[in-house]
Chains A and B, each alone.
Chain A
Amino acid sequence: MTVVFDGIASGLLLFLISVGLSVTLGLMNFVNLAHGAFAMFGGYVCVVLLNRLGVPFLATLPIVFLASALLGVLLERTLYRRLYGASHLDQVLFSIGLVFMSISTAHYFFGAQQQPLQLPPMLLGQFHLPGLDIGVYRLFLIVVGLAIAFALQWMLTGTRFGAQLRAAVDNPRAARGLGIDVDRIFVLTFALGSGLAGLGGALGVDMLGLDPGFPVKYIAYFLIVVAVGGSGSIKGSLIASLILGIGDVAGKYYIPQAGAFVIYAIMVLMLIVRPQGLFGRTAAK
């Protein structure tokens, strides 16, 4: 049971980070391999605020979200938007370039070592139920993750902004014709995705670690979530993240010698059987 619980917690963490990628990749049809860099950025912002400026952990989270979102807007306005119409190859090369730059920048400012993060005492500790050890921090992750998942689902299906986003993605020209400011929608969406990635990165320092190699180390995981979940679907991403989280934790627990091999194999199999993902909608072309 504890394995399942830990799996759910790491799955939701993964969901927070990858949901932004699911939106850019699935809805806006942009292959952004640099997505992990936003998560890393969030992690470093959190660590700096906490360790050097003494801001309490919970207070850093909104700042992290805003800072990452701001970085997202900045890059979207200056660089990403030029490549919306470009081929996937160009987008891949471009974002790999960004990954390289982010890695060496992080290395330059923080060095190669793992960054320490001291959680506040109220989030530490465990309580025990029969057959189940519940880590308080993991419970916290689950609550935050689920809350954000529901908020996103509601935003996408229940609000005017969500409707505009879906319209802008399905048919940008018609959406423009109806007076929707497609540019602005894309910026906001990109910012939201980067902000969530940053938030996930900050929340994940404790579980995933934080060092300059972060964007490359976990890129496969983020892509798996999108590939398995079906791009652009919140529900799909959530379920895929949970499967991946539980599978990963269980795999490492029961067959440690296989390492990440199982996860990669599942990803490839998944892509062969259902290239559009579990809950896929076809990406806008």
Chain B
Amino acid sequence: MSRDISMRAEYAFWLLPVLAYFVFGENLALLSQIAITALFVLSLDLILGYAGIISLGHAAFFGLGAYAAGLLAKYGWGDPLLGLAAGALVAATAGFASSFLVLRGSDLTRLMVTLGVSLMLFEAANKLTDFTGGVDGLQGVEMQPLLGLFSFDLYSKTAYWYSLAVLFLLFWLARRLVRSPFGLSLRGIKQNVTRMPALGTPVHRRLVAIYSIGAAYAGVAGALLTQTTQFVSLDVMAFSRSAELLLILVLGGSGNLYGALIGTIVFMAAHHFLADINPQYWQFWLGAALVLVVLFARDGIMGMLRRLVTRGAQ
């Protein structure tokens, strides 16, 4: 019975973006941004929400994907799908390599190593001006039509359906992943890291795997952003992006894939309307929201929904 309801809720949820296309037809650029950010939040949810790895520098992988796709397109390989693959590959490689550093220590060491690695990459992107354009951003990204058929238009129609399709596909993959034995073992590791080896789970290898997967997801999100905006700005790697990402995930409810999506929608909508009024106030309320969520609503929007549902069922 409840399985039926949740299935129906899922179908209904994925009808929303289709509906949004017709209702908010003028805001497709914003809607694509939401889809991309949702994918990025999803990537953090995989490593933080499911595997419990704290990261303060997840934007590093987003940035790597963005630059990989951007540079590829700038030097002539403007095929979007190729760019996505490159973004995923570069980010996954970096994630795999850095996972050995990150997974060594305690939470605190992880925080500092992820922060340190992302700051290093940020500084590298900032200083390698010949390569990345530095503070001015990477210009001259020229995208070829998607699948050779749909070119990226001014109204972001292609960008929207493209981002949405990628998000849907990767979401579906992630959903399968977290429900597989692999995903269950990750939850086990998060809950009790000392007991899992006794059950025969190779803890370290599992964590390396999910960290690389999370990095690849972030890389794809970064590549998508580059391709839909045809520009890479330096702040794809900035610390504030990592911090904002954490906030969205916590707002939506970590350890829940739909939490990542709903958190993004709420956050981006609030950002869109409030930041228009005054960007400085926006940041203040952002901070206040973060403090309040931590103090009073630790399980985010999804947690509140779940409590409402259980109360309704009683």
Residue A104 interfacial (CB < 8 Å): yes
- Among A98, A102, A107, A267, the residue within 8 A (CB) of B112 is A267
- Contacts A94-B290, A101-B284, A108-B280; A267 near B116 (Cβ below 8 A): yes
**Chain A residues within an 8 Å CB radius of B120:** 261, 264-265, 268
- Among A92, A99, A275, the residue within 8 A (CB) of B56 is A92
- Among A89, A97, A103, A271, the residue within 8 A (CB) of B109 is A271
In Å, the complex CA distance between A97 and B294 comes to 9
In Å, the complex CA distance between A96 and B124 comes to 24
Establish whether residues A220 and B116, one from each chain, have CB atoms under 8 Å apart when the complex forms.
yes
**Chain B residues within an 8 Å CB radius of A31:** 108, 111
- Contacts A90-B294, A104-B287; A216 near B56 (Cβ below 8 A): no
Give the segment of A3-11, A48-56, A152-160, A252-260 that binds chain B: A252-260
Establish whether residues A101 and B280, one from each chain, have CB atoms under 8 Å apart when the complex forms.
no
Establish whether residues B284 and A104, one from each chain, have CB atoms under 8 Å apart when the complex forms.
yes
- Contacts A92-B246, A94-B290, A223-B115; A264 near B298 (Cβ below 8 A): no
Residue A143 interfacial (CB < 8 Å): no
Size range of the chain A interface in the assembly: 35 or more
- Contacts A97-B287, A272-B101; A88 near B112 (Cβ below 8 A): no
In Å, the complex CA distance between A102 and B280 comes to 11
Residue B176 interfacial (CB < 8 Å): no
Establish whether residues B246 and A97, one from each chain, have CB atoms under 8 Å apart when the complex forms.
no
Establish whether residues A101 and B291, one from each chain, have CB atoms under 8 Å apart when the complex forms.
yes
Residue B309 interfacial (CB < 8 Å): no
In Å, the complex CA distance between A267 and B111 comes to 12
* Those of B105-143 within 8 Å (CB) of chain A: 105-109, 111-113, 115-117, 119-120, 123-124, 126-127
Establish whether residues A98 and B291, one from each chain, have CB atoms under 8 Å apart when the complex forms.
yes
A63-80 CB mask vs B (1 if < 8 Å, else 0) is 000000000000000010
Establish whether residues A268 and B291, one from each chain, have CB atoms under 8 Å apart when the complex forms.
no
**Chain B residues within an 8 Å CB radius of A93:** 246-247, 250, 290, 293-294
Residue B267 interfacial (CB < 8 Å): no
* Those of B236-284 within 8 Å (CB) of chain A: 239-240, 243, 246-247, 250, 280-284
**Chain A residues within an 8 Å CB radius of B281:** 104, 108
Residue of A nearest to B243 (CB): A96
Establish whether residues A261 and B290, one from each chain, have CB atoms under 8 Å apart when the complex forms.
no
- Among A96, A216, A258, A275, the residue within 8 A (CB) of B104 is A275
**Chain B residues within an 8 Å CB radius of A87:** 107
Residue B304 interfacial (CB < 8 Å): no
* Those of B212-249 within 8 Å (CB) of chain A: 239-240, 243, 246-247
In Å, the complex CA distance between A265 and B281 comes to 35
- Using a CB–CB cutoff of 8 Å, the interface residues on chain B facing chain A are 48, 54, 56, 101, 104-109, 111-113, 115-117, 119-120, 123-124, 126-127, 239-240, 243, 246-247, 250, 280-284, 286-291, 293-295, 298
- Using a CB–CB cutoff of 8 Å, the interface residues on chain A facing chain B are 25, 31, 79, 82-83, 86-90, 92-94, 96-105, 107-108, 216, 219-220, 223-224, 227, 257-261, 264-265, 267-268, 271-272, 275, 283
24 A-B pairs, CB-CB below 8 angstroms?
Answer: A82-B295, A89-B54, A90-B294, A93-B290, A94-B291, A100-B243, A100-B283, A100-B284, A101-B288, A103-B287, A104-B280, A104-B284, A105-B284, A107-B283, A216-B239, A220-B119, A223-B112, A259-B127, A260-B123, A261-B123, A264-B120, A268-B117, A272-B104, A275-B104
3 tightest A-B contacts by CB?
A: A100-B287, A97-B290, A101-B287
**A97-B286, A100-B287, A267-B116 provided; 11 other pairs, C-beta below 8 A?**
A88-B111, A93-B250, A94-B290, A96-B247, A97-B294, A216-B240, A264-B123, A268-B116, A268-B120, A271-B112, A271-B113
